[in-house]
Amino acid sequence: MKLDLNQDGILNKLVSIRRDIHANPEFGFQETRTAGRVAAFLTACGIPVTTGVGGTGVVGTLKRGTSNRSIILRADMDALKIQETPAHTRAHGSLNPGYMHACGHDGHTTMLLGAAQVLAAQGGFDGTVQFVFQPAEEWGKGMLAMLEDGLLERFPASEAYGLHNVPGLAIGKFETRAGAFRSAEDNFTINIRGKSVHSARPQQGRDALVAAAAVITALQTIISRVITPGEQAVVSCTDIKVPGIRNVICGEAEISGDCRSFSPQVSALIERELRTVAENVSRAHGCEALVEYTREFVPTVNHPELAMEVGRVLTGVFGVDAVDANARPQSGSEDFGQLLLKIPGCFVNIGNGATESLHNSAYDFNDEAIPFGVEFFATVARARLPLTSR
């Protein structure tokens, strides 16, 4: 590493900010306190700030030199509706019951704030850096909201860069790849309608629960028998709801779940087959199936040349053993993909060490990762906006 964040107590200040954000989690489009903290920090660094972008989003604009080139560095701010089980054991545990930073967005925000402070104080680039702090990433609406609010028209940029922490990946390690890196997420709900009767006379009804069980089992054949081997895809039934009266044959059932894929073609194939299976299996049980299928996240697709460039730059700073520039695609979704539909860029994973898994009620972002995230953002900005030779 080249940055020394221990100088002037910067690292201690960033850790304090991260823990303060962790203690005060806010759900998507409700991040008013977090956005205020971000705006105040950027302002103190001398960076012009625009608030309320896409609802609660914040953009800081830092210009140096004379170049017209501009890039986006992005972090997410929102928390999840999860009760933090060990909150009482942490001095910075969640003070907002039922909500917690279980995905590390508190850390992402802090790392980008650190990079903003470093770049504002030290420069070392020629052009404009747009520091984008977005709301509502967890449910895939925040980046869309910012784009619809004129993000790229109001804060022009030709490239975009972002990151996400990964528990189990060692501190100081990075992963990325050219092409599809994070999956799409599609959601589905299947409502099965049968006929309820007394459980002593099942022949007089149509059992929606038995039909739902058959549908759930049959849906697993989509991946094993319909999707081309070699394509990465997932179909998961994650919930089933029924009236649940002990002596009544079930007359209705609702199955919900999600699907993951890395291309629009595979997503369309999954939807077609899911509808076919649900409708026909239900019909075989004398029931009717109504399917609702929505697309919540698009795939996050890295620009091939920029992914190679980021891999090269990171290797130069952190060493060849710290960077996997051809990592496997990840089945987790990320709404940074919406931004990459508009402009090219690159998304990376950053090691979070031996923490609990994401979306776990015991998870906490590892503060040891902060300096590496700060240096990632600052290094990429300087590499993509190089100083002109005199």
Written as one letter, the residue type at 308 is M
Residues 301 and 347: their CA atoms lie apart, in Å, by 8
What residue ranges of the chain have pLDDT lower than 50? 390
Q: Domains along the chain?
A: 7-181+299-384 (3.40.630.10), 184-297 (3.30.70.360)
User: What pLDDT is stored for residue 385 in this prediction?
Assistant: 98
- pTM score: 0.93
Q: Structure tokens of 334?
A: 């990320």
User: What pLDDT is stored for residue 9 in this prediction?
Assistant: 82
Residues 300 and 317: their CA atoms lie apart, in Å, by 25
User: What pLDDT is stored for residue 1 in this prediction?
Assistant: 67
User: What pLDDT is stored for residue 389 in this prediction?
Assistant: 52
User: What pLDDT is stored for residue 380 in this prediction?
Assistant: 98
User: What pLDDT is stored for residue 390 in this prediction?
Assistant: 42
Per-residue DSSP letters for 308-353? HHHHHHHHHHH-GGGEETTPPPBSS--THHHHHTTS-EEEEEEE--
Quick one: how far is CA 313 from the chain centroid?
Answer: 24
Q: Are 325 and 302 in contact (CB under 8 A)?
A: no
Written as one letter, the residue type at 35 is A
DSSP H helical ranges for 198-249: 208-219, 221
- Which of 105-117 are b and which e, b meaning 16 or more Cβ less than 10 Å from the residue's Cβ? bbbbbbbbbbbbb
Backbone angles phi, psi at 264, to 5 degrees: -60, -30
Mean of the per-residue pLDDT values of the chain? 96
Helix (H) or strand (E) holding 123: none
